[in-house]
Amino acid sequence: MTEEHHSGFVTIIGRPNVGKSTLMNQIIGEKISIISDKIQTTRHTIHGIVSEEDSQIIFIDTPGIHKPKHRLGDFMVDVSIQSLEDVDVVLFMINAKEGYGKGDEFILEKLKKVSSPVFLLINKVDLIHPDQLFPIIDQYKDKCDFEEVIPISALNGNNVGNLISLIKKHLPVGPKYYDEEQITDKTETFLYSELIREKVLIHTKEEVPHSINVMIEKMEERSHNRIYIQAVIITERKSQKGILIGKQGSMLKKIGQEARNEIETMTDKKVYLDLWVKVQKDWRNRQSLLMQYGFNNE
């Protein structure tokens, strides 16, 4: 008798910077979500796919839920809330170091209306003393009817195997939604643009990281082992453009070199990265530009 195949969708939700993307990358075993110490690093939902003989789990990494300050922020919160619909398990992640916060109240109100099982993931437990764990659980346990409460370290992988096993118990019988070799629903151009944006996030500060977007304008294989990528970093003000280019082009060169190195590692091919900076005033509030850049809820 053939064993039944189980499959389903699992959304990871929480405040900014609790470690959602780190968990996704840890589970997939490859970097498909960019990571930085800046809040609101993730802007789109990203599917990470784990295929095993008896199951396929599609994890959904979501933008951190925050108080929006512009239309882009509205989009990010909307896609996170929408991810709660039609999923088989919800992973509500918190940061053990930070404990209960106002942003959690908003999320917990939404979770009360969810019919799927909700797991409370307490992340970064490697950064606290074990005695601090139970008071954190006490803070949350009565605020929602959690199916499971699981302490983890997304960075180190502690208890992640146990998490996967518990998720599998809640998956319905279902087909393989994706090919077994596929690990994400995102295109190469999306992943490369995100890697470039990650380098900007790492090397810039204050408002600059939040006010940029990256678009791949051209990508082609110029020979069997060589890729040409033309990308533009969009920012909101001329002063930010100056920061991104840097003295004698030093910042743009650093961003380009680091992104190119990582893309070359991913593709095992030589990459020529042609990087430009362009000013689009107040793009985060301009609906036509947001749609052009792929920020729509369709």
The pLDDT of residue 99: 80
Whether the predicted pLDDT of 101 surpasses 50: yes
Label residue 109 by pLDDT band (50, 70, 90).
Answer: very high
Read off the pLDDT band of 67 (50, 70, 90). confident
Alpha-carbon distances of 137 from 125, 149, 160, 168, 262, rounded to whole Å? 12, 8, 18, 23, 39
Domains present along the chain, CATH in parentheses: 6-168 (3.40.50.300), 188-292 (3.30.300.20)
Q: What is the pLDDT of residues 189-227, one digit of tens each?
A: 999 999 999 999 999 999 999 999 999 999 999 888 999
Contact between 235 and 211 (Cβ < 8 Å): yes
Say how many C-beta atoms besides its own lie within 10 A of residue 96's C-beta: 21
The predicted model scores a pTM of: 0.93
What is the rounded (10 degree) CA torsion for 171, 176, 177, 178? 130
